[in-house]
Structure 1
């Protein structure tokens, strides 16, 4: 999946424009990277197209612990989306990420992010 396909999938799932989805995706990946070890962020980045890889690597640093709700709040602050748009958007990015990378790498990332994030990545319905 290239970055355009990724952004379009997020846009469709989150019911946003493609530009909003691109901004949301970058903000979400940067936020998720705050919860991952540098090694895991690099491993995850290797499976993504370059523009998405950059967002993950920009978010690297000391691992911070926060709940999924805080990630939605952080993404909302970075994008200017409403609470419901940001929540839908983070879920859309996680679901698209699940499709875009190997199951093994997705499972590794989810093991660090925690069960709350894993539940957000579950298919809707």
Structure 2
């Protein structure tokens, strides 16, 4: 796919929905937000801005609005994503429905799937800059991005 920076919001969410096998686009939105807000919290503001710039405006705000530069490990990253996936927040329009019961392994998979999509949409040096801010234990987050074959490509 390369670095096609003209990704629309609908296309982006459609791709997330496909990768996580979500029944609804709302679930894809919830997942994207959970992962990107958490990533935005972990990296510095410059890193968040680098990743956000090629993304659709409705997506980049998740990264940009986060409280940047927090220090936490990969386990805490997954915990935060997991909590956000399962949290029934009222600031989402009612059309987003109720959260599903998602366990931590599914939360981890979804985080990896969203990161892999970022790797396709964000120029390599920008994502590498962000990855370099993370301890080695975060390498797992990028494993699907580097995979020869991903679960969603195996029809």
Query: Which of 120, 131, 149 is the aligned partner of 1:99?
Result: 120
Q: Stretches of 4+ moved more than 6 A in 1?
A: none
Could you list the runs of 5+ residues in structure 1 that have no partner in the other structure? none
Question: Under a length normalisation based on structure 2, what TM-score does the superposition of the two structures give?
Answer: 0.72
Q: Is residue 22 from structure 1 mapped to residue 29 from structure 2 by the alignment?
A: yes
Query: Which of 33, 45, 49 is the aligned partner of 2:52?
Result: 45
Q: Aligned partners of 1:116, 1:96: CA distance in 2, in Å? A: 20
Structure (1 or 2) with the greater helix fraction: 1
Q: How many residues align?
A: 124
Going from structure 1 to structure 2, the CA distance change for 1:40 and 1:79 (only over 3 Å counts) comes to: same
Deviations 1:40-76 (A, max 9, x none): 2122211211011110011133x21222221111111
Q: Aligned partners of 1:68, 1:11: CA distance in 2, in Å? A: 24
Residue 85 of structure 1 and its aligned partner are, at CA, apart by 2.0
Question: Under a length normalisation based on structure 1, what TM-score does the superposition of the two structures give?
Answer: 0.87
Q: Aligned partners of 1:114, 1:5: CA distance in 2, in Å? A: 31
Q: 2:15 maps to what in 1?
A: 9
Q: Aligned partners of 2:13, 2:143: CA distance in 1, in Å? A: 18
Could you list the runs of 5+ residues in structure 2 that have no partner in the other structure? 1-6, 87-101, 150-155
Contact 2:13–2:29, Cα closer than 8 Å, also in 1: yes
**3-state SS, counterpart of residue 113 of structure 1:** coil
Structure of larger gyration radius: 2
The alignment's C-alpha RMSD in Å is 1.7
Contact 2:50–2:127, Cα closer than 8 Å, also in 1: no
